[in-house]
Amino acid sequence: MKIASFNINGIKARIQALTDWLAATDADLVVLQEIKSVDEGFPRSHFEDLGWQVETHGQKGFNGVAILSRMPLEDVTRGLPGDDADEQARYIEATVVGSRAVRIAGLYLPNGNPVPGPKYDYKLAWMERLRLRALDLLATEMPVVMLGDYNIIPEARDAARPEVWTDDALFLPQSRAAFRAIANQGWTDALRIRDPWGRRGPFTFWDYQAGAWDKDNGIRIDHLMLSPQAADLMVEAGVDRDARAGEKPSDHVPVWVRLAA
């Protein structure tokens, strides 16, 4: 079972880029972020005609997450528990059923800038809610993949130029500590475990400005976190870097993990 995450940066603007990538990938399930569409406006029939089951949690013009699956989905839930007043569409869960059931938690974590301010306070509060939900997911003892755009640069080697991110919400010590508080529950960073002590990157985001792509001035903020039961099933993980070089691309690229499930 191959599970992927892709911040598409607007489903309507990037529908062809997404369609082209889906045609080339062997992913069984894809979690999308920043669909920037209400549920009714999502081009559901387009993807259903291509053989995908579609589940969305949308919001007009901002945020929004979705799941596309070639395999059956069960028990779909929307919204991160812990704050009934939170109206931002950033979280979706489902169970995908292959040779065994795997719980999928797809997320689009708040950016948090500018710092200080209410947006950063919201980011940290959201991460605390995610930490608590992650504990509940671990308690199920199911294989769980918690993936998406975390808007966190975990380490200096996850940025081409870490010095320029020092005062950014994505790299502040509090942000990274909140990410570690989740990871240290027992989650495995699927991309990092491939090369725990080695090279810089791999990157998953390159800004549209200042020639970031051409200069490889990227950061790694899209993560695949595996519960112990999912980590035991991991076969391989990777980044589809070439998607950033396509026509009218997202500023993110897909990340994926393959499980023996």
CA gap 126, 203 in Å, rounded: 24
Residue 197 has pLDDT above 80, yes or no: no
Any bridge partners for residue 145, and if so which? 104, 226
Residues whose CB falls within 8 Å of the CB of residue 196, separated by 6 or more in sequence, listed in order:
none
CA gap 170, 55 in Å, rounded: 28
Strands of 150-192 (E only): list them: 188-189
Residue 175: the pLDDT is: 98
pLDDT tens-digit profile of 202-258? 999 999 999 999 999 999 999 999 999 999 999 999 999 999 999 999 999 999 999
Q: How many CA atoms lie within 13 A of 38 on its CB side?
A: 3
Residues whose CB falls within 8 Å of the CB of residue 80, separated by 6 or more in sequence, listed in order:
86, 90, 91, 107, 126, 129, 130, 133
CATH 3.30.750.24 assigned to domain 2-259? The reply is: no
CA gap 127, 104 in Å, rounded: 18
Closest CA to 170 of 238, 219, 105, 117: 219
Closest CA to 230 of 112, 146, 136: 146
Segment 103-128 shows an average pLDDT of 98
State the pLDDT confidence band at 43, using cuts at 50, 70 and 90.
very high
Segment 40-66 shows an average pLDDT of 97
Helix%, strand%, coil% for the chain, nearest 5: 30, 25, 45
Segment 78-100 shows an average pLDDT of 97
Q: Which pair of tokens denotes residue 62?
A: 């901002």
pLDDT tens-digit profile of 185-194? 999 999 998 7
Residue 195 has pLDDT above 80, yes or no: no
Domain limits, the chain: 2-259
Segment 77-87 shows an average pLDDT of 97
Closest CA to 144 of 226, 257, 260: 226
User: Has 252 been annotated as catalytic?
Assistant: yes
Is 149 annotated in a binding site? The answer is yes
User: Has 158 been annotated as catalytic?
Assistant: no
Any bridge partners for residue 65, and if so which? 33, 57
Residue 80 has pLDDT above 90, yes or no: yes
Is 163 annotated in a binding site? The answer is no
The b-or-e profile of 47-59 (16+ CB within 10 A means b, else e) is: beeeebbbbbbbb
Give the three-class secondary structure for 32: strand
Is 252 annotated in a binding site? The answer is yes
Residue 196 has pLDDT above 70, yes or no: no
CA gap 180, 182 in Å, rounded: 5
- Torsion on CA atoms 114, 116, 118, 121, rounded to nearest 10: 110
Is 217 annotated in a binding site? The answer is no
User: Has 120 been annotated as catalytic?
Assistant: no
Residue 194: the pLDDT is: 75
CA gap 90, 126 in Å, rounded: 10
Catalytic residue among 91, 150, 223, 252: 252
Catalytic residue among 28, 57, 108, 120: 108
Catalytic residue among 149, 158, 168, 189: 149
pLDDT tens-digit profile of 130-182? 999 999 999 999 999 999 999 999 999 999 999 999 999 999 999 999 999 99
Is 7 annotated in a binding site? The answer is yes
Q: Which pair of tokens denotes residue 44?
A: 């559901």
